[in-house]
A and B are shown apart, each in its own frame.
Chain A
Amino acid sequence: MKTLALLLALVALLAVLPFVGSDYALSFTIQLLMFTSLAYSWNIIGGYAGYTHFGQVAFFGLGAYVGALLVGAGWHWLAAAAAASLAAIALALALGSAMLRLKGSFFAIGMYGLARVGENFALGFDGITQGGTGLYLTPTDLTPIYAVLAAIALALIAFTHRLDNARFGLQLLAIREDETAAEALGVRTTRLKITAFMISAAAPGAVGALYASYLAFIDPATAFAPMTELTTIAMVLLGGLGTVLGPLVGAVVLSVVNELLWSRFPELYLGLVGIIILGAVLFMPRGIVNAFAKRRWRWVSAPRAGLRRLADAARPVPAASPARTPAE
């Protein structure tokens, strides 16, 4: 219920913003929604399945180029974004079975390498991509792009809430905790990982295409920027890895802090952001949401609360009986 109430409040806020906010507010919110979507997508494979990596920007960059090229060929930006999403899903499917054999730092670095391959292909195939010069698009009205980005972000929040309370989410967590044990207990780990990887690639592909339309330009350095990747990961870590609200909280906090520092300390802001992230990781290693959940703040839903409600609905849980409970 708390997540539903939050979603409704967000929908209301996002619905009125284009009518009451300035162009600056609209532009800031577009970037916030973009990062929120990227953070939620990364959270599925990095947070829930535990396959942290530095290569999501490969799907974002691919989406940006597919979108820009299709818009350049006369497609509507929305259709181009849908095609970009499918392209990213196809890439994830093609790479998934090979890349997801890698574990831990090998997978993280392998995915970083994939992003660099994408950047170099975008530079190298200059007959198609215009290389370092980049592709220029006709500027379009930002409000519909904003609306689609808002819909994507909200859909991802709703999906994550469902994932958190579904067996699929539990099985991803089982993979994160102990993949060997999960497999020995019959969890189809390879299939689940590839599915999660494909889902986590879908939104970045679409968002990349929307970003190209928003900027009316894309070049390899923008499409495959390591800073986009690191910001996304920092948002998830700051908010809470593998939680429903963590990516949203992290995206809002980091975007606001970023914006405030950038406007006041343009030369120092990146360093200051780095210090803030370092402090947050040191003092709240499991993120803001988990830190508050631990203190039982009522606005934070307990993880997998839906499953617990289901069990409570069946029969109330009996109190633990010390006489019956082994206590080695």
Chain B
Amino acid sequence: MSTLTLAAPRSTAPGLRDDILVVEGVSKRFGGRIALDAASLEVRRGSITGVIGPNGSGKSTLFNIVAGALPPDGGRVRINGRDTTRHGPAQVCREGVGRTFQISRLFSEMTVLENLVAIAHGKSDVEAVERARELLDFLEIAGLRDKWGSELSYGQRKLVEIARALMLEPTLMLLDEPFAGINPRLQNRIVEHLDALRRNGLTLFFIDHEMRIVLEVCDELYVLAEGRVIARGAPEAVRADPAVAEAYF
């Protein structure tokens, strides 16, 4: 696997927890239904943090609020120390957040290269093309460069979406069910890539249902049930939590 240059992670004083994402008491209602009920979490810089929970537990709502796609009814979101609670998606993105989507949203009438170059910020065309090539090499999908978005398989789309999000040179990456619907071999490849990205200083925050992967890859895990955080901690500790077993396992 080739190496990759990412935005330099901030250094923090030894012993102090450095959180890149802080969600404080965020609530959201849809009509009479409570989707999130004063949910709070912190994502440590340089970690891989996951959120799991049964269907309807509020994972996607939480994710969309962090990404700026939904405004919360209450609470606060801070990214890199800045309040992004009322930011729109483009503003959140410019705070150093890249994201992928649960259902692929590649631009299907563009090639893979164009998908990546289209969203580059603050780069000349030559620099954007070079960065795109670097990312495609890193993810071992350089051969897909000139394929149309519509020609890609489901798994290829997942990888290209990760490459596209990395074009933004994020400090925090939001991954919406990156392992859903793909075979174990590709799941393992994505795990390897995410691990390499983390080693390069990127923080990864994702939601998924794939328990095998979540338990394997995460440094810290949050469990949501009925819009509330019912457990947090290292994956094995969370797995052993009776409340989690009752709600989820």
Q: For the complex, give the distance between the alpha carbons of A166 and B107 in Å.
A: 16
Known interface pairs A173-B109, A174-B110, A177-B109; A184-B67 also in contact (CB < 8 Å): yes
Any chain A CB within 8 A of the CB of B230? no
With A167-B117, A328-B156 already in contact, the answer to whether A314 and B89 are too (CB < 8 A) is no
B192 to chain A, nearest CB (A): 12
Say yes or no: is A324 at the interface (Cβ < 8 Å to chain B).
yes
Contact A325 B114 (CB under 8 A): no
* Beta-carbon nearest neighbor of B187 in chain A: A326
Query: In the complex, which of the residues B94, B111, B155 contacts A328, with contact meaning CB atoms closer than 8 Å?
Result: B155
- Check: A16 CB closer than 8 A to any chain B CB: no
- A19-35: contact bitstring with B at CB < 8 Å (1 yes, 0 no)? 00000000000000000
Instruction: State whether A167 and B118 are in contact (beta carbons under 8 Å apart), knowing that A174-B107, A186-B168, A326-B156 are contacts in the complex.
Output: yes
Residue of B nearest to A174 (CB): B118
Say if the beta carbon of A1 comes within 8 Å of chain B. Answer: no
Mark each residue of chain B from 92 to 106: 1 if its CB lies under 8 Å from any CB of chain A, else 0.
011000110100010
Stretch of B36-44, B119-127, B233-241 with 4 or more beta carbons under 8 angstroms from chain A = B119-127
Q: Which of B110-146 contact A (CB under 8 A)?
A: 110-111, 113-114, 117-121, 125-126, 128-130, 132-133, 140-146
A177 surroundings in chain B (CB, below 8 A)? 107-110
Contact partners of B145 in chain A: CB under 8 A: 311, 317
Residue pair B155, A317 in contact (C-beta under 8 Å): no
Name B69's contact: one of A184, A317, A327 (CB within 8 Å): A184
Q: Most chain-B CB neighbours within 10 Å: which of A307, A311, A324, A326?
A: A326
Q: How large is the interface on A (under 10, 10 to 19, 20 to 34, 35 or more residues)?
A: 35 or more
Contact call B142/A318, Cβ cutoff below 8 A: yes
Interface residues of A in 208-224 (CB under 8 A from B): none
A304 touches B114 (CB 8 A): yes
B7 touches A (CB below 8 Å):
no
Contact in complex: B93, A186 (CB < 8 Å): yes
Most chain B Cβ neighbours within 10 Å, of A170, A189, A319, A320: A170
A2 at interface (Cβ–Cβ under 8 A)?
Answer: no
Across the interface, which residues of B come within 8 angstroms of A174, CB to CB?
107, 110, 118-119
Nearest chain A CB to B135's CB is how many angstroms away? 13
For residue B182, CB closer than 8 A to chain A, the reply is yes
A181 B155 Cβ-Cβ under 8 A: no
Q: Is the CB of A183 within 8 A of B143?
A: no
Contact of A327 with B153 at beta-carbon distance under 8 Å, contacts A167-B118, A310-B129 already known: yes
**Contact A317 B142, beta carbon cutoff 8 Å:** yes
> In the complex, what's the smallest C-beta–C-beta distance from B69 to chain A, in angstroms?
6
A binding-site residues for B, Cβ under 8 Å: 166-167, 170-171, 173-174, 177-178, 180-189, 304, 307-308, 310-311, 314-315, 317-321, 324-328
Can you report 26 A-B residue pairs in the complex whose CB atoms are below 8 A from each other?
A: A167-B120, A170-B110, A170-B114, A177-B110, A184-B90, A185-B99, A185-B165, A186-B93, A186-B121, A187-B119, A304-B110, A307-B113, A307-B114, A308-B146, A317-B145, A320-B144, A324-B141, A325-B143, A326-B153, A326-B156, A326-B185, A326-B186, A327-B155, A328-B154, A328-B155, A328-B181
Shortest 9 CB-CB contacts between residues of A and residues of B: A320-B143, A328-B155, A186-B93, A326-B155, A170-B118, A181-B105, A184-B89, A177-B107, A328-B154
